[in-house]
Structure 1
């Protein structure tokens, strides 16, 4: 008799609904765990890449690698000139195709003026020097 009472008190619709809700919750948790695992692996790979980059930069030192310094002496002169120009308010842009500097932006901070100058080889360096100094 006790067995008949247990089976009779059982509601199959309610039981199926609870099982379905628990299955849905289980799959959501499993998907979230999988997503977190994938994100963890991605972050580990990014960390390894950044550590490798840090090691490379630390090996180069503050001034860069000795090989880069030996090969870059000519570039140092150009970089120094560009820094001086920039400190005076002149920014130059390099042409992507030819590699030559073909545009300059001259800023006068006191007047708030900005002049964009297209550098044309038909004009002399003296002309541009005078023009740039006049714009400062």
Structure 2
């Protein structure tokens, strides 16, 4: 079954003001805006397509876990702890709502940040071994 699902292609994020959110994602996170109208924006971010979809006020992609904590729905990965600490400082300098760096009892460190609409995202300091292996394989094929 795992062979059927190759990757996540698109993530949909609810936003109130599509144009303002698209600019925020571009300026703060480095996303590329491929399309934008008053109902949706299509962005490239972290090698994935993100659709910012105009939604009702107060709508977010967050959810509440069984303990009552508001949770994020997506984790971005960075390449190591130094990259995590640098990104954390950069986000705070940019005024992005950013939580503290956390040790969650597993390898690496994490922090959570929010967009203009309160959609929460996680950042993790460890690239997945599968992703690293695919990168190395692609580099090897290019070098041949």
TM-score with structure 2 length normalisation? 0.21
- Give the structure with the larger strand fraction: 2
Larger Rg: 1
Structure ranking higher in helix proportion:
1
- With normalisation by structure 1, the TM-score equals 0.21
Structure with higher RCO (Cα < 8 A, 6+ apart): 2
